[in-house]
Amino acid sequence: MVGTAYGSIQTTSVEVYTDGLAHISTQITPEEGSPALNVALLGSEIDNFIATGQNNILLTAEMGENSVLLNTFDSDTVLVKYDVHDLISKDGRIWTFAVDSNTRYTLIMPDGAVIVGMNVIPIALEMVDGKAYLEIPSGEAVITYILSADRDSIDVSTTVDGASDDNMVLWVLGMFGALGAFVAVWYYRRPTVHIQSSKTASTPKSIFERIPDLREDDKEILRYLSQNGGEASESSIRKKFLQPRTTMWRTVKRLERVGAVSVIKKDSLNIVRLRYDQEHAP
């Protein structure tokens, strides 16, 4: 969750790159007199972390599983920057940005990105050098988009002949309002599609017998995988069972450790796959 810190978050920006990487920048005012600052990290696959305090002094950081503990050195303001690999996923030509935040933030889309679906309505929007800057409210945001390289092969109308930049901003804002309402209704009412497979459509009884001490909620996840052809993305499992990102990550790691599932990378997604073999970690 963005904003979980012993201090006051002043600004947060999330810049999305064309390869699916997201760069996070957060400015925080620590509690007065507190020598340490605990900041929750947005995402679990973190790279290039850096934290600076007053006069650009580098702060010592103790990385945890979901957060980082900083020594503020009595700095009035702390700037935290890092890259995240698991906020964005891709399915075919469609990219999906998904974040659950308890503070508002500025989302900077890639140059030439075309938004095709949203479950939120931005507080504000500005176009700068071909990039959309969206002020996103707190809460869960799911935004789907395509990149300009894919535009010609997808039937999405994104421009109006002769429209000025200002008119385009107004047009996009209107489109966002309509899309936000439509996608929100679709997102929460859409039916669950199950893909059946002759190999894995039945209850994974062999896994339950092989690993008898599984939790009941773990068994529900394995049944869900079985009903979906034996595999599903980690994000889809999380949405199905309404679990926070970190909780689901721990659950999948636990199931992988006991040999109930395997996890593979596919198009920037973590794909969780049932394991019917006898081989598993101790």
Query: For 134-148, what is each residue's pLDDT tens digit?
Result: 999 998 999 999 997
The answer, as to whether pTM is greater than 0.95, is no
Structure tokens at 22: 């997201």
Structure tokens at 125: 């929007």
Percent of the chain with pLDDT over 90: 32
Check whether 268 has a pLDDT greater than 60: yes
Residues 68-114: pLDDT tens digits?
A: 899 888 888 999 999 999 899 988 899 999 998 878 999 999 988 99
Domains of the chain: total: 3
Let me know whether 33 and 7 are in one domain: yes
b/e sequence 122-144, b meaning 16+ C-beta within 10 Å? beebeeeeeebbbebeeeebbbb
Which of 33-37, 192-196, 262-266 is predicted with the least confidence, judged by mean pLDDT? Answer: 192-196
Is 9 among the domain residues? yes
Let me know whether 74 and 98 are in one domain: no
Residue-number span of the structural domain to which 122 is assigned: 87-190
Distance between CA 56 and CA 27 in Å, rounded?
Answer: 13
Backbone angles phi, psi at 243, to 5 degrees: -105, 145
At 278 the pLDDT is 55
Let me know whether 95 and 177 are in one domain: yes
Is 196 among the domain residues? no
Distance between CA 115 and CA 148 in Å, rounded?
Answer: 11
Let me know whether 104 and 180 are in one domain: yes
Structure tokens at 98: 């998904």
At 203 the pLDDT is 55
Let me know whether 91 and 56 are in one domain: no
